[in-house]
Structure 1
């Protein structure tokens, strides 16, 4: 009988939501390959026979290609690019140094797509390629302002992911952009609405329900569709 165990690649799993997703999918019986930019003691604590830990920085093209070389024999039902930054997110755009603004854009909007391009051939038929987006990336829902550079980077990620899906539409996998909710993490802060477990449980439910669904969708952790 063929092995029916699902296989996930979680990119950016050293802490917060990425770490929570690894733990959730392991609990649900998935095999998981988790990446870290540098050694993560919290991730190491989860090590089981079903977990493989790799080190790679999504902003480093050579490291991403090398990671692909190490993992190219595998097929993943889920490739989820979680990694992102929110440097000087509270500052208005004109107060953010140009190099900082550019790096946020590269890490949040460019590197995830470049990673997906390299790893597209590892997504199993009927699988999903997911990106960690945000409701802040919705242009239509921006009625409060704030987080200007971060918002713009996530809106750019959404646009780039739609273009990625169009270019790869003949491939047998779907593309998801997921808003995790406002979560009590280092990025979200102590006053956020929900805890990590609520967010990652919801996102895992959405992913499992949508495995095999073609096209691109922009959803929150409850499965609700968000306005672009």
Structure 2
């Protein structure tokens, strides 16, 4: 391990993240193509209207399954703690990069935690509403009123999900080093101390416990 960097994401975690990102892009574009006639030209990316209608639900289900991988990996780190509430009350200082009076936080800041749970909620709504309106397999088991409500919920959840991902991308670019962490897995110790001090303390304490005791220096003779 480099003395100057800290492991933030393993290769498996990064692969999981980028697979979800790719599937989100594909499911999002195909969903927009089916959402409104003005966006139907996007279906050309998937081989036309029929193929878009066929592929979209499968991509959505696969995206949800892979997203569950992220949930199982990171849900503990996204629990809210006492410092998070104070951090949110002082969000104006955070936006101005003012550190005075801003409490230290763990591996994820409260904004990231809110995003995490928002994404999970949207994914669940998209999954269950999508199953209801999946004509090839499930929609025949539901009444027209249920299907219409499911279509509305599906569209709303998709809209919130897209907005949330836009915020996620913007925040990742705004906080320098975040994108690099998800690409390469490591962050500098200074970055960790500045943005996630509680997590930095935990990691460095774990490193200290894991160090082998140094052999004492003895003099001969």
What TM-score, normalized by structure 2, do the two folds share? 0.28
Q: Which has the higher contact order (CA 8 A, sep 6+)?
A: 2
What TM-score, normalized by structure 1, do the two folds share? 0.27
Q: Which has the larger radius of gyration?
A: 2
Q: Which structure is higher in strand share?
A: 1
Q: Which structure is higher in helix share?
A: 2
